[in-house]
Structure 1
Amino acid sequence: MSNKMPAIFIGHGSPMLALEDNPFTPQWRRAAQQMPKPEAVLVVSAHWVSDGVTETTADAHELIYDFYGFPKALYQVRYPAKGSRQLAEQVQQQISQPAVAADNKRGLDHGTWAVLKHMYPQADIPVVQLSLDANLSMQQHIELAKQLKPLRKQGILILGSGNLIHNLRLMDRQRADEPFAYDWAVRAQEILLALVKSGDLDALANYRALGGDVQKAIPTAEHYLPLLYILALQENDDALDIFNTGFVGGSLDMTCVQVG
């Protein structure tokens, strides 16, 4: 396939989005509808951090309900997407360092299925998940992601799932569904999105040097890293589309970023 697929980062928020629409989920569907149908989807989710880089290789996926305290209906959600041995092999061929291990037991976590359920509700596109290696530096994650660029020209949608600003400890859970933001979160978003627009990956990787607001916005890196994977795939001719920049609960933003 000669047409280059976009790559997209989805701010996924609560797993309850798998069951309900809100102002954000229709924009996920719109993004999927406006791009070519992918041959397969490679997902980098905040919810799979591992010792070494690992990918799913199962032919069929179980779902991982990696949360607690939610309504029973959420634990009954199904998303019967197939795996793809072909894509798993392509990933291993593209990533020269570090070596990519195979896991044929692990299923899809909610960072993957809660998003894809809206984007591709028929579950008719094969899915492979790629883990975040806890041993890599921010810059090493970016260099790993760059190795995946050729997959875009092979009809593969690379999807990062996390949140630009994700501080659950400071979230107002009584107002978890309300569209408001703390002042520090708004300031952090402005700083980070300016760097996203300018393509300054080095500054984004060194986010701890961006001041106290950004440090508060990104207390740990796992929800932030999938965005850097997507930005690392951007090429000179790729447009940049930023949408869903609203907040919920004060300290969680739903920003999505598409390249290409």
Structure 2
Amino acid sequence: MTLPALFVAHGSPMLALEDHEYSRFLETLGRELPAPEAIVVFSAHWDSPEQSMTVDESHDTMHDFYGFPDAMYELRYPAKGSAAVTQRIASLFEAGNLHYEPVLGRGLDHGAWVILSKMYPNADIPVIELSVDSRRSPEEQYAIGAMLKELRQDNVLIIGSGGLVHNLRLISQTDEPEAWAVEFDEWIARNLETWNLKELFNYDKKAPHAREAVPSYGTEHFAPLFYAMGAASDEAKAKRLIQTYQYGSLSLNCWMFGGS
């Protein structure tokens, strides 16, 4: 069996404590997917010009956010790393002529551990976190993800964690979705379902409301989509598993790529 790759919107850090349709969906998804041997997460909250990778035997939990309830800072996700998987990733990056930086002692940021705490609450599956580079073109991000596609055949789950509509300056106090956010998400959906790379790679020029949905200061949240797609480029099929919204325009969705 080949595992799918996933794009998972991580929303607000409060997702770790919330109980609603999207949080329950993630809990169910973790139970329904075949149990992976390891999980690789491209996180929007590790934006680096150097391709970086955690190489720890075990991970600390980063509380890389401010102004949240005390309970958020008490949460821990003590997942282990995997030397075997990091070595495999290193060899694939080297084969793709991609320079990478092994990083010790960083911990898992909330882009990784918040969603994993819902999907795999026991923290008993090894996790390797990878950085994204928002300055790279979508084509380059996709190509880096594609370097890792064969990991899926070895029962490794690859996740891109970010947000398709993620503009904190435009959020409101209602969960009723803003029309512009829905229009952007639906444009993305149509082009994902047809694997239209020409349109998707030019989403910033082609998609309606792209500037509002993916502001110039927040492209790192959109980038994980292309890394996750690349990891399933051998199958080139996409399925949206859920679509909800918080705060008017904060898009909470999950896309599954490939998997057989």
What interval of TM-score do these two structures reach, taking the shorter chain for normalisation?
A: over 0.9
Query: 1: CA distance between counterparts of 2:25 and 2:49?
Result: 34
Is the partner of 2:209 in helix, strand or coil?
helix
Match of 1:78 among 76, 79, 89: 76
Aligned-residue offset at 1:166:
0.7
Alpha-carbon contact 2:41-2:160 (below 8 Å) kept: yes
After superposition, what is the alpha-carbon deviation per residue over 1:22-80, rounded to whole angstroms, capped at 9, x for unaligned? 11011112222222111100001110001310000011111111110000110010111
Matches within 5 A, 1:93-242: 93-95=91-93, 96-172=96-172, 175=173, 178-219=174-215, 220-235=218-233, 237=235, 240-242=238-240
After superposition, what is the alpha-carbon deviation per residue over 1:160-191, rounded to whole angstroms, capped at 9, x for unaligned? 1111111111111xx1xx42122211111111
1:29 counterpart = 2:22: no
1:16 counterpart = 2:25: no
Query: 2: CA distance between counterparts of 1:136 and 1:189?
Result: 22
- Name the amino acid aligned to 2:170: L
Is the partner of 1:24 in helix, strand or coil?
helix
- Name the amino acid aligned to 1:71: P
Query: 2: CA distance between counterparts of 1:27 and 1:98?
Result: 35
Query: 2: CA distance between counterparts of 1:76 and 1:229?
Result: 31
TM-score of the two chains, using structure 1 as the length reference: 0.93
Identity %: 37
Query: 1: CA distance between counterparts of 2:44 and 2:207?
Result: 23
Query: 1: CA distance between counterparts of 2:30 and 2:124?
Result: 13
Alpha-carbon contact 2:5-2:152 (below 8 Å) kept: yes
Alpha-carbon contact 1:49-1:133 (below 8 Å) kept: yes
Is the partner of 2:158 in helix, strand or coil?
strand
List runs of 5+ in structure 2 lacking aligned partners. none
- Name the amino acid aligned to 2:110: H
Residue correspondences, number: 254
Alpha-carbon contact 1:171-1:250 (below 8 Å) kept: yes
TM-score of the two chains, using structure 2 as the length reference: 0.93
- Name the amino acid aligned to 1:232: G
Query: 2: CA distance between counterparts of 1:108 and 1:194?
Result: 33
Alpha-carbon contact 2:195-2:236 (below 8 Å) kept: no
Query: 2: CA distance between counterparts of 1:19 and 1:83?
Result: 24
Is the partner of 2:154 in helix, strand or coil?
coil
Query: 2: CA distance between counterparts of 1:129 and 1:73?
Result: 24
Give the RMSD, CA atoms, in angstroms.
1.5
Is the partner of 2:25 in helix, strand or coil?
helix
Partner of 2:40: 42
> CA 1:79/1:211 → structure 2, altered by over 3 Å: closer, same or farther?
closer
Match of 2:241 among 223, 243, 249: 243
Query: 1: CA distance between counterparts of 2:118 and 2:28?
Result: 10
Query: 1: CA distance between counterparts of 2:116 and 2:77?
Result: 8
- Name the amino acid aligned to 1:105: G
Aligned-residue offset at 1:243:
2.4
List runs of 5+ in structure 1 lacking aligned partners. none
Aligned-residue offset at 1:225:
1.1
